[in-house]
A and B are shown apart, each in its own frame.
Chain A
Amino acid sequence: MTLYLVAIMWASAVILPFLWALRISLIPTYTTFVSFFPKSLSELSFVNYRYLLFRTKFPRWMINSVLVSGGATLLNVLACSMLGYVLARKRLPGANVMFTMVLALLMVPYHILVIALYLGLSKVHLTNSLFGVILPLSANAFGVFLMRQYIMMIPSSYEEAALVDGCSRIGALFRIVLPQALPAIGILTVTMFMETWNNFILPLVMLTRDSMKTVTVGIADLAFQTLNTNWGVLMAGSLLGAVPTVLVFVLFNRYFLRGLTLHGGLK
């Protein structure tokens, strides 16, 4: 019984800050002494949300984030599947060396590379362009590793039969192998979406024009807007900006948890 008490206590410690944020986002002006529970429903106001949606670039930031996360995730799944397939199946000379190289790159967190990436991408004029953020995120060693491991477990006789019947390699990959690798693709998709949505330092450096920002950078901007932070708007933005990842978590809970532990174990 005491165990449940402890469990419930920690659960509320986890949830209460978010509830506080929700409460603050629903009052017109922030005051320190706001009671946690509203006395009546009419006390709640959506002023902050209206401000956020119509007076700031917030909707634009959300769209940018969706484009960046969606694009990077899609490219990731494509690139990682193909590379993983090649590394799993082809007996190329040096395939093992390549695989070790991929693993070595897996160890390099891209945080170190921000400067380097910035220098490289500003050379080709990709600053203030969403592509500049999507491209560096579009191949990732964890994904290659995951896809390779999974594809290696699929018996190759299926594709060989297809190849004999006149199917191309690419055709065999998309029609035969990948449909069997759906669980791995699910994990990769969910993990990558979460990760790219969370991405902060890269868009912060690459996207300086207000209308190009992703939602994470936008929220950070709201936090510094003026000397007087508008807490209601900031909290509203923080909550709305978290909605997509929370949705993905709720819908694909299982993929997400599997991916998290796998990802951590490989990093």
Chain B
Amino acid sequence: MLTLFLVAPIMAMFTISFTRWPIIGSPTFVGLKNYYRLFQDEIFLKALKNTLFYALITVPSITSFSFLLALLLRSITRAREFFKAIYVFPMVVTLVSTAAIWKGMYLPFGPLNQLLVRLGFNPVEFLSVGLVIPSLCLVLIWRDIGYYSLFFLAGLEEIPNEVLEAATVDGASALQRFRYIIWPMMKPVTLLVCVLVTIGSFMIFTLVYVITGGGPAYSSQALLNYIYDVGWREFRMGYAAASAVIYFFILFALNMFERLVFERG
């Protein structure tokens, strides 16, 4: 079953990537031409760069904010379960719905800009060329930190209270307790979250598809969206397969890296 649905298609993908195939008719063999063209394709390189940019923003911010949120949850005693449920809520809502709602939030005269104006700021064009990637990342941060904070919270709950109390009795400040007790014990979880967010950011698709469609001027195009556009809008299957092969190797490398990290930890 697994072989049928995973290994066979991967082989097919590699084969198709050496052909020219406009879906109708049969593929013609073109050798490495697709790959050669791909690395001169400005839009592909842009999508690659954008995807790295998504990762570069989301990884540090989601990791640190969810850690902070976990520390917050940890120090709250009353209604902790209630807050946990609320914070994880965006993760429960279908991503397409979230994307549609945020498309509304980012309208030129939408609620976010109205809020900014009311607070005395100038309205911002969230989905303009320069700001579109940070804006999309903001949605991801907003959605994910509640979820990842649960990882940190689980880690924090494993630190025995006695240790922290003993440190307090010995005169350690809050900062010292964090630096010398909490942080060393949280390193594995932090690593895990970093890796998960990295992989997640390379799989961005839905958000870009619904909110911007990759625009304006391809400034928010992600790799997966590029593959979709080439394959299913322009019907250049061979070329799309070639870009999917590259994407495959990137994700494969990331996964290998992840495994390495876990075997160390």
Contact = CB atoms under 8 A, between A and B. Distances in A.
B205 A111 contact: yes
A14 B89 contact: yes
A14 B87 contact: yes
B86 A15 contact: yes
A201 B259 contact: no
Nearest to A23: B111
Contacts of A102: 2
B51 to A, nearest CB: 12
A116 B255 contact: no
Contact of A267 (B114, B147, B154, B196): B196
B101 A21 contact: yes
B186 interface: no
B129 interface: no
Q: From DSSP, what is the main secondary structure of chain B's interface residues?
A: helix
Contact of A139 (B5, B73, B90): B5
B176 interface: no
Interface residues of B, number: 75
Nearest to A24: B104
Contacts of A114: 227-228, 244
Contacts of A156: none
A117 to B, nearest CB: 5
A249 B75 contact: no
Contacts of A223: 99-100, 103, 210
A157 interface: no
Interface hub of A17, A18, A107, A256 (most chain B Cβ within 10 A): A17
Interface stretch (A161-169, A180-188, A234-242): A234-242
B95 interface: yes
A200 B206 contact: yes
A266 to B, nearest CB: 10
Given A234-B100, A245-B94, A108 B89 contact: no
A20 interface: yes
A92 interface: no
Given A115-B237, A216-B94, A235-B104, A10 B111 contact: no
Interface in A63-106: 79, 101-102, 105
A261 interface: yes
A6 B72 contact: yes
A231 B111 CA distance: 13
A7 B89 contact: no
B251 A15 contact: no
A198 interface: yes
A112 B251 contact: yes
Interface string A140-172: 010000000000000000000000000000000
Contacts of B8: 120
Nearest to B73: A7
A116 to B, nearest CB: 3
Contact of B232 (A135, A197, A205, A242): A205
A116 B72 contact: no
Interface centre among A102, A119, A216, A231 (most CB of B within 10 A): A119
B32 interface: no
Interface string B79-100: 0000111111111111111111
Contact of A119 (B13, B102, B227): B13
B169 interface: no
26 contacts: A10-B69, A17-B102, A102-B2, A108-B6, A108-B252, A108-B255, A109-B199, A113-B10, A115-B240, A116-B244, A118-B231, A119-B237, A120-B8, A120-B12, A198-B95, A201-B205, A201-B224, A205-B228, A231-B104, A238-B97, A238-B101, A239-B97, A241-B94, A246-B89, A265-B151, A267-B199
Please give me the 8 A-B residue pairs with the lowest Cβ-Cβ distance, nearest first. Answer: A116-B9, A238-B97, A116-B13, A32-B109, A107-B255, A249-B92, A242-B93, A238-B100
